[in-house]
Amino acid sequence: MINRTLALIVGGLVLFGSTTMPAAANSDRPNVLLIVVDDMGHADLGSFGGEIPTTNLDALAQAGVRLSRFITAPACSPTRAMLLTGVDAHKAGLGNLEEELAPNQRNQPGYEGYLNDRVVTLPTLLRESGYRTYMTGKWHLGIEEPHGPAARGFDRAFAMLTNASHFADMRPAYSPDPKAKAKYRDDDRLVSTLPEDFEYSSQYFVDRMIQYLDSDHEQPFFAYLAFSAPHWPLQAPDASIARFAGRYDVGYDAIAEERLARQKALGLVPQDAVLAARAPKGRAWADLDPASRKVEARAMEIYAAMIWEIDRHVGRLVEHLRTTGRLDDTVIIFLSDNGAEGHDYDDTWPADAFPAIRKVLDESHDFSLQNMGRPGSYTFYGPNWARTSSPALGLYKAFPTEGGVRSAAFVYGAGRFGKPRVEDALVLVKDLAPTILELAGVAHPGNRHREREVEPMTGISALPLLQHQEPQVDWRKRLHADELLGKRGVRLGDWKLVHMPPPFGTGEWQLYNLAEDLAESRDLAAEHPDKLAELKAYWERYANENSVVLPDWVSGY
């Protein structure tokens, strides 16, 4: 039954993506399905070079516009803040992850740890214009009721407020309290137990979204489906993990080479791209002992199962839209919130920085090989597989390098965006809010909303780019800067400036030309002092305009 359904979906999507379908078949105010996955690498989907069978997502991507140069924040909640507001995270309240706030950042404007009142959200504006607004999945933008989804524009929401187990055991992914439960909010109500039909996170978030969509067929909808997978702890149903048994015994180095070749063939990276350097903790597969290889292969089997689970449940949702006659009038936007997660357990929870959390984690989980991926497990897949997830890109999540901020993203809309293609223009995550507003025919209020001052959007609508209209900006030469955890990045066209501490950087500004060196391996700062000075000056302007507070303490993440 599953195979037959997948074939219907693939066939339907290829047909819907055909350029022979007239644009007039679409509503003037389309539905919008915004899908976000958590910590997925640039090359994990089949349509982006991966070997994991992602049939449903690939059908959408291959019938739409794949964005090969889509840039997020280096980590989850700052990305989500920009995604839902079109405003830089340092102004929206997520200048840093709430869990990582430094003493000098606490109580500073822009570092509230939740979406602050100085921004108006995308769902708020869409709801005011007649859209029904729904959200399921990971929120990570505020725990208290005034900061939850229901207070920030969603008609209905089932939200995992912070990271948690992917099963129904309600284990928090981190807490200093051994008796704590993960926090979920059902609309405006905290829940003490998860519903009986909650078997696995990706399954339930889609089930609930389908329920919301079925509650109203009269108004257009904005549906925000925010998977918590494949974020750690890596967990998946046993049957899904079993699908990949032995698949990764060949090792991460061989898979990385295969993925890089496919990404070149797909036009997602330049033909002269090379494998990025190993991270400081990275090791060659050939150097691992047999026991270490088993652990590494098992971790990737679980990770692949998580991606496969995302894909099959997205397939269920898309099939539901198709059978209810709503797919033709729905624009689907997909992205990962940042690059692959390359930290390991010790990197993430060093005992000297988080002693209470580390103690609880150590004492309450089964870390055995046999239990990996199951309830009560706590698995990362680390720097070696993260390199495989983004083989041409340097480093990973939490870094301003391409491996941390270049996301697999695509936009699908039946007949709306011309022929399927790969688009290499620089598109930022904060561009999506203005893009969706323009699709819906909704104007942002600018500096005031409901008698209060708000930040204007600094993102730019990508709709003209997607529709091949006359460009309003030179998308390849945009200036962009970001900062997280004290790590900084600046880009102007193909030029890229980064500042990172050892052993990942030098502790000084490093300059790269991405057109010639996508992997950011050759520092050109000494050879191009004028370009170095130009981008450093832009960093200072960006930091001043966005009230950046560089942390006086970092955990090492």
Show which residues are catalytic. Answer: 76, 140
Cα(453)–Cα(544) distance, integer angstroms: 20
Cα(322)–Cα(345) distance, integer angstroms: 42
Cα(355)–Cα(358) distance, integer angstroms: 5
Structure tokens that stand for 37 in this block: 């996955």
Cα(399)–Cα(396) distance, integer angstroms: 6
CB atoms under 10 Å from CB of 274, counted, come to 14
Helix (H), strand (E) at residue 432: helix 432-440
Q: Is 144 helix (H, G, I), strand (E, B) or coil?
A: coil
Alpha-carbon dihedral sign for residues 465, 468, 471, 474: positive
Phi, psi values for residue 11, rounded to 5°:
-60, -40
Cα(404)–Cα(281) distance, integer angstroms: 16
Q: Is 509 helix (H, G, I), strand (E, B) or coil?
A: strand
Question: Would you say 169 and 375 are in contact if contact means Cβ atoms under 8 Å apart?
Answer: yes
Structure tokens that stand for 210 in this block: 């389908």
Concatenating the DSSP letter of every residue in 99-129 gives GG--TTTTTSTT-SSS--TT---HHHHHHHT
The answer to whether the bond into 445 is cis (omega within 30° of 0) is no
Q: Which residues pair with 482 in a beta bridge?
A: 489
